[in-house]
Amino acid sequence: MPQEVIALSSDMLIGAVAANKVAGFRFVTMSCVELDGNRVDILYHFDKDLALKHMRLTAFKDSVVASISAVYFAAFLVENEIRDLFGIRFKGLVLDYARTLYLDEDVKVTPFCRYTVERSDPQEPVGRPGAAG
């Protein structure tokens, strides 16, 4: 399946997303990953005729990112989710849950930030204890 990845700056985001819509791309979803204590990568995923296109926006955690929900309405849901889980603020959300998308009491801060996995023994195999192979 062919794929394309495009790095974007924040001022290019809305224009590039709107160009995708005009070209017939379907919005699939967004994902977010913490890069370090100050930055995240927000990945925008699109599809057209089984060809995937991904756009990557590196943003500072304390910045405000433009919402693409005015272009692709369905994006409001995952943008609210990213706000709840990573603390990233979006400007222009068509439907803003104001960090209440998840009404679970366990989600009080940004649970997907500063997550690391460490091995106590560098020689220890990766996997479940006692798992073969």
Q: pLDDT tens across 100-128, in order?
A: 777 665 555 665 666 433 444 445 444 43
Mean predicted lDDT score pLDDT of the chain:
82
Check: CB of residue 25 under 8 Å from CB of residue 72: no
Q: Which of 81, 72, 87, 80 is nearest to 28 (CA)?
A: 72
Would the pTM count as exceeding 0.95?
no
pLDDT-based confidence at residue 98 (cuts at 50, 70, 90):
confident
The span from the CA of 51 to the CA of 33, in Å, is 23
Residues of 83-103 as b/e, b for ≥16 C-beta within 10 angstroms?
bbbbbbbbeebeebbeeebee
Instruction: Tell me the CATH number of domain 3-91, given options 3.30.60.50, 3.30.830.10, 3.30.460.80, 1.20.140.10.
Output: 3.30.460.80
Q: Residue 101: what pLDDT?
A: 78
The span from the CA of 30 to the CA of 56, in Å, is 10
Q: Residue 87: what pLDDT?
A: 86
Q: Residue 19: what pLDDT?
A: 97
15-33: average pLDDT: 96
